[in-house]
């Protein structure tokens, strides 16, 4: 792979990263907080590609004369002897592999982790830092996240929920016994460390929906508990009063 | 993994066509043809990914790459600055003259540089190139991703009930970095490190040298990062968590299992604490082992180290680091947890 091809790859990679981070595509893979770093890294890749092409395509000018345009960050833009060209065997062949992430981001754009990942990993709700949960905010039904509900149901035995009506948004997955469950993936860094939070459903269980359909359910706390066979963790239940299908949210991870 | 097939044969194809057609077909032309083919066959390619396992693989692979790209790029920039703009004499003054003292100094420098392991490999490479003793550069390589403030904060957040684990992680990682540095002084041989020749770094124009270093390191280290990310995504999809459940009951098996898992999963050091927290069926000591081994030895690091320092180096360095990290972490767990 010669330097010009490397420059094209860097340009594509930088472009793909920038495109993913100015659209909402990046939210399928990483946390929102990474966005400014992604944009900066993408821009730097593009600049590196342009500078490489600049030096590659004007070798004679650089060799004979002092470059007319000063290069940013160059204290001493002396002309100097250009490196010999055409020695492609020095150049890293492994760089060809960088086409794969470009391809993944530009052409394939795989979906966020869904029901398959849920079936593979055990439900994970970490224990709270304080023993008391703050009261739920105002509203009837009150909007809570799947993770928050699961934590309150498991570690607080539903005390802070009481008999309030709660509204949760998540996607449908198939539970251990074949029944539909409500799930949400939780990321700490990127999708490689995504962990599912699973809720069992009783009452008006959403029926006839394929896996990965997003639903909004309204219901109340129930003290019923299930077990996740994957990691032997407890799975809290929700007593569903009503549900409706909703479009895929922008932030698919909790 | 179906995606891995198309680009792999290309490099040899390039060489072959060059021999037949002179200089008419170079890598740019091959790249253009490849991209056009990929765009034409986009739909069948996407169709191949309908299988949920393959889809999850692709998601995990892309997300590891997206997560790592900023760290890779910033690490490469810093390493290019070191390679081109920081004079050799600076390191002679900044680090203690005696190599045995330079090792702890370099480990401590790792504490203040927040970064992820993907960035520290090219930085350590640059340090060696600029005359820093390999022992110190390697200690930096191991310490920087494991004990910087961001990683320790993440650990504290992930284990709210166990502040002693943060201390144990920091201490054990520093000790491993220093032990490995000193081991290198006693047993290491310089000829194991075969760093590729880098004529562009000697370029008289500093701008050309700087951007040449950035271009080279991103394609080189980035390519190996892709290899590592593919391996990690495969493990992520292929190893069901149910298997781990059985291992958790045996104290020694669980330590070995989590040490191996840390190598295979190749998580970013800023994220591994959250995964460790979720492996709640395992003992705290075995999870400490997971946190100490992970940032120092994992698939993507081994691939990157083999690329930057040479295969002979990586084959010796990675297993030794693994053994030292497991032993030190177990000892730290016995004392502190």
Query: Of A60, A84, A110, which residue is a domain's last?
Result: A110
Q: Where are the domains of chain B?
A: 1-48, 64-336
* A83 and A62 both lie in a single domain: yes
Let me know if residue A211 belongs to a domain: yes
Asked if A100 and B7 come within 8 Å (Cβ–Cβ), the reply is yes
The alpha-carbon gap from A17 to the nearest alpha carbon of chain B, in Å, equals 7
Phi, psi of B86 (to 5 degrees): -85, 120
Distance between CA A5 and CA A231 in Å, rounded? 47
Q: Could you read off the pLDDT of B269-326 as tens digits, one per residue? A: 776 887 787 777 788 999 999 999 999 998 888 988 888 898 899 999 999 999 999 9
* A239 and A131 both lie in a single domain: yes
Which of A3, A78, A122 has the CB atom closest to B204's CB atom?
Answer: A78
SS3 of chain A: CCHHHHHHHHHHHHHHHHHHHHCCHHHHCECHHHHHHHHHHHHHHHHHHHHHHHHHHCHHHHHHCCCCCCCCCCCCCCCCCCCCCCCHHHCCHHHHHHHHHHHHHHHHCCCCCCHHHHHHCCCCCCCCCCCCCCCCCCCCCEECCHHHHHHHHHHCCCCCCCCCCEEEEEEEEECCCCCEEEEEEECCCEHHHCEEEEEEEEECCCCCCCCCCEEEEEEEEEEEEEECCCCCCEEEEEEEEEEEECCCCCCCEC
pLDDT of residue A162 exceeding 80, the answer is yes
Residue of B nearest to A85 (CA): B200
* A121 and A216 both lie in a single domain: yes
Length of chain A: 254
Site from A71, A151, A188 to mutate, B interface, most B CB atoms within 10 angstroms: A188
Q: pLDDT tier at B216 (50, 70, 90 boundaries)?
A: confident
Q: How many domains does chain A have?
A: 2
Let me know if residue A213 belongs to a domain: yes
The alpha-carbon gap from B100 to the nearest alpha carbon of chain A, in Å, equals 34
CB A174 within 8 A of CB A181: yes
* A9 and A105 both lie in a single domain: yes
Asked if A190 and B271 come within 8 Å (Cβ–Cβ), the reply is yes
Which of B69, B200, B205 has the CB atom closest to A41's CB atom?
Answer: B69
Let me know if residue A43 belongs to a domain: yes
pLDDT of A80:
32
* A18 and A123 both lie in a single domain: no
Q: Could you read off the pLDDT of B236-278 as tens digits, one per residue? A: 788 777 777 778 778 889 999 999 989 988 877 776 887 787 7
Which of A1, A38, A191 has the CB atom closest to B60's CB atom?
Answer: A191
Q: Is B276 on the interface with A (CB under 8 A)?
A: no
* A133 and A240 both lie in a single domain: yes
The alpha-carbon gap from A141 to the nearest alpha carbon of chain B, in Å, equals 30
Let me know if residue A31 belongs to a domain: yes
Let me know if residue A192 belongs to a domain: yes
Complex ipTM value = 0.85
Phi, psi of A106 (to 5 degrees): -90, -40
Let me know if residue A250 belongs to a domain: no
Q: pLDDT tier at B16 (50, 70, 90 boundaries)?
A: very low
Structural domain that includes position A137: 117-245
Which candidate, B74, B85, B86, places its Cα nearest to that of B113?
B74
Let me know if residue A254 belongs to a domain: no
Let me know if residue A55 belongs to a domain: yes
Query: Of A56, A81, A110, which residue is a domain's last?
Result: A110
Q: Could you read off the pLDDT of B124-142 as tens digits, one per residue? A: 888 888 888 899 999 999 9
Residues from chain B that touch A120, judged by Cβ atoms under 8 A, are: 56, 237, 240-241
Asked if B227 and A73 come within 8 Å (Cβ–Cβ), the reply is no
Average pLDDT, integer, range B164-187:
94
Q: Is B59 on the interface with A (CB under 8 A)?
A: yes
Which CATH number belongs to the domain containing residue A153 in this structure? 2.40.50
Q: Is A44 on the interface with B (CB under 8 A)?
A: yes
Residue of A nearest to B304 (CA): A94
Query: Of A110, A125, A157, which residue is a domain's last?
Result: A110
Q: Is B162 on the interface with A (CB under 8 A)?
A: no
Q: Is B208 on the interface with A (CB under 8 A)?
A: yes
Asked if B278 and A126 come within 8 Å (Cβ–Cβ), the reply is yes
The alpha-carbon gap from B2 to the nearest alpha carbon of chain A, in Å, equals 11
**Burial group, residue A137, by CB count within 10 angstroms (0-12, 13-18, 19+):** exposed
């Amino acid at each position: 792979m010669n330097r010009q091809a490397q420059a094209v790859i860097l340009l594509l990679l930088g472009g793909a990263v920038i495109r993913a981070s100015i659209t909402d595509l990046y939210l399928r893979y990483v946390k929102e907080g990474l966005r400014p770093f992604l944009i900066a890294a993408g821009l730097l890749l593009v600049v590196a590609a342009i500078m490489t092409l600049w030096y590659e395509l004007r070798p004679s000018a650089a060799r004979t004369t002092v470059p007319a345009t000063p290069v940013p960050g160059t204290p001493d833009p002396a002309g100097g002897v250009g490196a010999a060209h055409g020695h492609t065997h020095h150049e890293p062949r492994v760089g060809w592999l960088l086409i794969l992430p470009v391809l993944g981001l530009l052409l394939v754009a795989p979906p966020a982790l869904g029901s398959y990942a849920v079936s593979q990993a055990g439900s994970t709700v970490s224990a709270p830092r304080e023993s008391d949960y703050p009261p739920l905010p105002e509203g009837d039904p009150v909007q809570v996240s799947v993770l928050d509900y699961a934590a309150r149901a498991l570690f607080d035995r539903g005390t802070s929920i009481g008999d309030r009506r709660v509204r949760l948004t998540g996607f449908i997955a198939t539970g251990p016994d074949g029944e539909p469950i409500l799930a949400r993936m939780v990321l700490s860094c990127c999708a490689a460390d995504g962990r599912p939070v699973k809720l069992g459903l009783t009452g008006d269980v959403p029926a006839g929906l394929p896996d990965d359909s997003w639903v909004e359910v309204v219901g109340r706390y129930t003290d019923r508990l299930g077990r996740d066979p994957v990691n032997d963790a407890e799975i809290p239940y929700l007593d569903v009063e009503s549900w409706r299908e909703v479009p895929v949210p922008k932030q698919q991870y909790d | 993994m179906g995606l891995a097939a198309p680009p792999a044969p290309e490099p040899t194809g390039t060489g072959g066509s060059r021999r037949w057609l002179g200089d008419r077909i170079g890598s740019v032309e091959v790249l253009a043809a490849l991209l056009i083919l990929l765009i034409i066959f986009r739909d069948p390619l996407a169709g191949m990914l309908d299988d949920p396992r393959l889809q999850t693989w692709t998601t995990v692979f892309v997300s590891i790459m997206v997560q790592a790209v900023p760290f890779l790029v910033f690490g490469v920039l810093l390493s290019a600055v070191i390679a081109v703009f920081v004079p050799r004499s600076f390191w002679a003054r900044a680090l203690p003259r005696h190599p045995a003292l330079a090792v702890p100094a370099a480990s401590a420098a790792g504490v203040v540089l927040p970064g992820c392991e993907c960035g520290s490999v090219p930085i350590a490479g640059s340090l060696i190139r600029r005359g820093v003793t390999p022992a110190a550069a390697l200690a930096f390589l191991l310490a920087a991703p494991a004990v910087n403030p961001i990683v320790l904060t993440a650990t504290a957040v992930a284990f709210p009930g166990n502040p002693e684990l943060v201390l144990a992680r920091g201490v054990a990682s520093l000790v491993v970095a220093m032990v490995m540095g000193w081991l290198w002084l006693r047993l290491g041989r310089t000829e194991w490190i075969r760093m590729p020749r880098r004529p562009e770094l000697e370029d008289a124009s500093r701008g050309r040298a700087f951007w040449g270093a950035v271009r080279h390191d991103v394609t080189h280290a980035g390519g190996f990062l892709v290899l590592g990310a593919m391996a990690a995504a495969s493990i992520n999809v292929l190893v069901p968590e149910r298997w781990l459940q059985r291992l958790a009951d045996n104290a020694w098996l669980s330590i070995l299992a989590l040490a191996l898992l840390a190598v295979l999963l190749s998580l970013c050091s800023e994220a591994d604490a959250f995964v460790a927290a979720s492996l709640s069926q395992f003992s705290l000591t075995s999870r400490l082992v997971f946190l100490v081994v992970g940032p120092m030895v994992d698939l993507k690091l081994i691939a990157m180290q083999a690329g930057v320092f040479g295969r002979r180096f990586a084959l010796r360095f990675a297993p030794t680091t693994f053994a030292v990290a497991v032993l030190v972490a177990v000892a730290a767990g016995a004392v502190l947890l």
